[in-house]
């Protein structure tokens, strides 16, 4: 699986973004072979530090076929307990990244 990771700028994060990404990579690595790419990803992950999630998706949308968006404790707009984020995000990545349709 080709994975694109895009961080927000991190001005006022309420979650530890690097720690979250490390945990997701660990979890994902146990389920599937993946590589980090900048373009043409099967799935992209936006890591926003807070619910504002101010990364402008329209500017990077073409870098991945599907996107999963984390904004603080929100995963694709749904609130998730912070300790469950790595697992839930990984599930979403596998679900969307495995889908080869456009």
Partner 1 sequence: MALKTPQEYLDDLRKMNINLYMFGEKIENYVDHPIIRPSINAMAMTYKLAQDPEHEDLMTATSSLTGEKINRFCHLHQSPEDLIKKVKMLRLLGQKTGCCFQRCVGMDAFNAVYNTTYEIDQANGTNYHQRFVDFMKYVQENDLAVDGCMTDARGDRSKRPGEQPDPDAYLRVVERREDGVVVRGCKLHQTGMINSHEMLVMPNNTLKDDEKDWAICFAIPVDTPGMIYVYGRQSCDTRKLEGGDVDTGNKYFGGQEVMTIFNNVFVPNERIFMNGEVEFSGTLVERFAGYHRQSYGGCKVGVGDTLIGAAKAITDYQGVSKASHVKDKLIEMCHLNETLYSCGIACSAEGRKTAAGNFLIDLLLANICKLNVTRFPYEIARLAQDLAGGFFVTMPSEKDFANPEIGSLVKKYSTSRSDVPVEHRQRMLRLIENLTMGCAAVGYLTESMHGAGSPQAQRIMITRLVDLEHRKELAEKLCGVKENTDVDWK
* Sign of the torsion angle spanned by Cα atoms 71, 73, 79, 83: positive
Query: Binding ligand SF4 by CB under 6 A: which of 49, 67, 68, 92?
Result: 49
Query: Binding ligand SF4 by CB under 6 A: which of 8, 41, 69, 70?
Result: 8
Query: Binding partner 1 by CB under 8 A: which of 18, 39, 40, 79?
Result: 18
Q: Is 54 in the site for ligand SF4 (CB under 6 A)?
A: yes
* Joined tokens for residue 88: 């839930």
Q: Within 13 Å, how many C-alpha atoms sit on residue 21's CB side?
A: 18
Cα separation of 57 and 50, whole Å?
15
Q: Is 9 in the site for partner 1 (CB under 8 A)?
A: yes
Residue 75's binding partner out of ligand SF4, partner 1, none, with CB under 5 to 8 Å set by partner kind: none
| 89 backbone dihedrals φ, ψ, rounded to 5° | -65, -45
**Which stretches of the chain bind partner 1, using CB under 8 A?**
5-12, 17-18, 54-56
């Amino acid at each position: 699986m080709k994975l694109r990771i895009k961080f927000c700028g991190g001005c006022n994060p309420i979650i530890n973004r690097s720690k979250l990404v490390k945990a997701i990579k660990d979890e994902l690595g146990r389920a599937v072979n993946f590589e980090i790419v900048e373009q043409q990803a099967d799935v992209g992950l936006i890591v926003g530090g807070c619910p504002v999630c101010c990364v402008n998706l329209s500017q990077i949308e073409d870098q991945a076929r599907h996107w999963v968006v984390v904004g603080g404790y929100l995963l694709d707009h749904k609130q998730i307990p912070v300790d469950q984020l790595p697992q839930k995000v990984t599930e979403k990545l596998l679900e969307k990244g495995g889908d080869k349709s456009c």
